[in-house]
């Protein structure tokens, strides 16, 4: 059974380590867990596992021409510290910190880069807690039919051309094809799905509607979420209002970042 490679402090927020040591969550709370900050389950108590590694290097240009990098650099930077976890050990820490929660979120980086070990972990996790709700957050460049058996919500965030400010190409044909696979998996396996698009301008919206028209036709309007690019500065506020208007106009969901309102731009909260 393969190990999982996590980003540093990649299971969070927790109050108990593997050996029973007391830890202080970055939320400032005296308890394990936080809330899901984005998407359909925003506000739901959750425990997070952040896997290390990504096949993209996303960056956007803001309206004032600043480069906005991926908001989880410690999960993708090759120079960052990582943690190797045996499936059984990782599950033990989950058990010690789950409390009254039942939502576990697997994020990254790109979790599907470790799909084989992830299947092993989720199989054991579901055997431990049959009502465990598992979300996997993915960029949509990969798909795994074997994971469908253990996932309750696929949160797919396809990266549009605007995410290519640093020049690393995204195969949009592959992403569009995989979004189609996820929409079919939603129907065949009764898995919930959300398609979360980061929007930096009207050009992004136009690209979304042109490229993803076919796979979106198999999804519900409630599955499509528009999220404004950036963090809470003045430019972000202007963009946020515009993206909200575009979402309402199309009958799609607007996706704020609730965790930023609560904890600011602090990782692992």
What is the percent of the chain where pLDDT is above 90?
A: 69
Residue 16's pLDDT band (cuts 50, 70, 90): very high
- Return the pLDDT at 168: 65
Examine the pLDDT at 10 and tell me if it is beyond 90: yes
Which pLDDT does position 52 carry in this prediction?
96
* pTM of the model as a whole: 0.95
Where do the domains of the chain lie, and which CATH numbers do they carry?
4-263 (3.20.20.70)
With 80 as the cut, is the pLDDT of residue 224 above it? yes
Q: Write down the pLDDT at residue 87.
A: 97
Q: pLDDT tens digits, residue range 140-153?
A: 999 999 999 999 99
pLDDT score for 207? 94
Q: What is the mean pLDDT of residues 82-108?
A: 97
pLDDT digits (tens, 9 = 90+) for 156-178: 999 998 888 676 667 788 999 99
The pLDDT value given to residue 29: 95
Quickly state the pLDDT bin for 78 (edges 50, 70, 90).
confident
The model's pLDDT over 102-155, given as tens digits with 9 standing for 90+, comes to 999 999 999 999 999 999 999 999 999 999 999 999 999 999 999 999 999 999
State the pLDDT confidence band at 232, using cuts at 50, 70 and 90: low
For residue 2, which of 118, 89, 151 has the smallest C-alpha distance?
118
């Amino acid at each position: 059974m393969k190990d999982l490679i996590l980003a540093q402090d990649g299971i969070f927020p927790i109050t108990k380590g593997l050996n029973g040591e007391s830890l202080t969550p970055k939320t400032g709370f005296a308890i394990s867990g936080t809330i899901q900050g984005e998407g359909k389950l925003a506000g739901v108590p959750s425990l997070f596992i952040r896997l290390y590694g990504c096949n993209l290097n996303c960056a956007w240009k803001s309206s004032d021409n600043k480069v906005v990098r991926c908001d989880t650099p410690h999960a993708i930077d090759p120079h960052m510290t990582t943690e190797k976890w045996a499936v059984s050990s990782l599950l033990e820490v989950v058990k010690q910190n789950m409390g009254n929660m039942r939502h576990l979120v697997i994020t990254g980086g790109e979790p599907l880069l470790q799909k084989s070990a992830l299947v092993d972990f989720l199989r054991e996790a579901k055997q431990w807690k049959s009502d465990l709700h598992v979300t996997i957050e993915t960029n949509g460049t990969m798909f795994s039919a074997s994971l469908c058996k253990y996932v309750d919500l696929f949160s797919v965030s396809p990266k549009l051309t605007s995410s290519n400010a640093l020049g690393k190409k995204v195969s949009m044909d592959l992403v569009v094809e995989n979004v189609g696979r996820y929409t079919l998996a939603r129907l065949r396996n009764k898995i919930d799905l959300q398609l979360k698009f980061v929007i930096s301008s009207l050009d992004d919206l136009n690209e979304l509607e042109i490229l993803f028209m076919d796979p979106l036709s198999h999804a519900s309007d409630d599955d499509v979420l528009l999220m404004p690019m950036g963090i809470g500065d003045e430019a972000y506020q202007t963009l946020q209002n515009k993206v909200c208007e575009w979402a309402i106009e199309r009958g799609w969901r607007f996706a704020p970042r609730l965790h930023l309102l609560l904890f600011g731009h602090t990782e692992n909260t």
